[in-house]
Amino acid sequence: MTIVEFRERAENHKRAASVALSGALDEASFEAAKTSVWSRSVQQSFSKLLGELPITERPEAGRVFNDLRAHIDALLAEASIYFAVSEGASQAGRSLDLTMPARERWRGAKHPVTLVIDEIVAIFREIGFTVALGPESESEWYNFSALNFPPDHPAMDMHDTLYLGEGALLRTHTSPVQVRTLQRHAPPLRILAPGTGFRRDPFDASHAPAFAQIEGLAVDEGTSFVALKATLTHFAQKFFGKTRTRFRPSYFPFTEPSAEMDVECRLCGGVGCSACKGTGWMEILGSGMVHPSVLEAAGVDSERYTGWAFGMGPARIAMLRYGLPDIRLLYDSDVRFLAQVAE
């Protein structure tokens, strides 16, 4: 006896049991079939076969046997419900309605935004990034000051959020994780920090007041904008397949120079459509060279080290991936929608 043969016997018995039970059209023949498909002697013969297997294969055979038992239990339960129902129905003078839709069995699945985050993390892990996390309730210092936002700078207008008292607020981005990580780990380092950000934004087709974000940070001696561009282009190609990318100058207080990266519009392939407002491009992230004063705030010698960082919105990226017209679909938790994308 080998484990392969054992598995085959179990599969054969499953099939035989299905045939025997589906042939039972009344309760008496069901009772008879029930005894024959899972009789003592059937069980004994399986444990005897199991005993003939080499010791190393027995745990696996045990699992096969348990799976067989569970399968037969399920068949029996299904069949006995059938007889109970049909008996009840005939007692009530009605016949059994076989056209009634079966009850659906719901399976849990990952949310599309989680799927996208997992995929992004996997791509960056492959090239040496590790995952870091930070708190959602953050201090003003980590969220703003350490990130080189001068007090009352207009850049903060886009970062209005809920203040929780005693200098705490709901973080407006995942960038504070840059500082927290650098305080705890000496460079060289490469991290990816997925998390949630919060802003006083309207809940509209492209904004959510609580949104997923992924931060990336690399700090080393001599790392440059070349590495930033190469890494992010590599990411875009891995995630979207062959695509053109472009970098546009931008502004963030914590990076200098700063750039936003666009990929070719997924919907029109770069020709220009309503989704990309006729430009043929879609923005997927903000990035730049870490500002020396951010490195200094985190206690890193900015004469010796350079760094680059980026921040992207996995929900926006999920919209591109699945061709969604409205970000609210991803945050409304409507199972009718989610079930179409779930894996």
Which residues of this chain interact with ligand PHE, rule CB under 6 A? 173, 175, 215, 252, 255, 286-288, 309-311
Closest distance to ligand PHE from the beta carbon of 310 (Å): 5
CA pair distance 134, 37, nearest whole angstrom: 56
Nearer of residues 116 and 294 to ligand PHE, judged by Cβ: 294
Nearer of residues 13 and 316 to ligand PHE, judged by Cβ: 316
Nearer of residues 138 and 215 to ligand PHE, judged by Cβ: 215
Nearer of residues 79 and 294 to ligand PHE, judged by Cβ: 294
Nearer of residues 134 and 288 to ligand PHE, judged by Cβ: 288
- In the chain, the largest separation of any two C-alpha atoms, in whole Å, equals 90
Closest distance to ligand PHE from the beta carbon of 301 (Å): 20
Task: Determine the Cα angle at 309 with ends 308 and 310, to 5°.
Answer: 140
Closest distance to ligand PHE from the beta carbon of 197 (Å): 6
CA pair distance 130, 48, nearest whole angstrom: 50
Nearer of residues 115 and 284 to ligand PHE, judged by Cβ: 284
CA pair distance 30, 17, nearest whole angstrom: 11
In the complex, which residue's CB is closest to ligand PHE?
311
CA pair distance 17, 87, nearest whole angstrom: 23
Closest distance to ligand PHE from the beta carbon of 304 (Å): 21
191: left (phi over 0), alpha (psi -120 to 50) or beta: beta
Q: List alpha helices for 211-306, DSSP H.
A: 225-240, 292-297
Closest distance to ligand PHE from the beta carbon of 284 (Å): 11
Closest distance to ligand PHE from the beta carbon of 66 (Å): 50
**Which amino acid does the sequence have at 208?**
A
CA pair distance 38, 73, nearest whole angstrom: 9
Closest distance to ligand PHE from the beta carbon of 170 (Å): 13
Nearer of residues 176 and 341 to ligand PHE, judged by Cβ: 176
Closest distance to ligand PHE from the beta carbon of 177 (Å): 10
Upstream peptide bond of 257 is cis (omega within 30 degrees of 0): yes
Nearer of residues 281 and 310 to ligand PHE, judged by Cβ: 310
Find out whether 261 and 317 touch, Cβ atoms under 8 Å. no
| CA 26 vs CA 16, 32, 84, 158, 235: distances in Å | 18, 10, 11, 71, 62
Rg for the chain (alpha carbons), in Å? Answer: 30
Task: Say which DSSP state 26 is in.
Answer: S
φ, ψ of residue 168 to 5 degrees: the values are -95, 150
Picking from 334, 111, 109, 341, the residue whose alpha carbon sits closest to that of residue 212 is 111
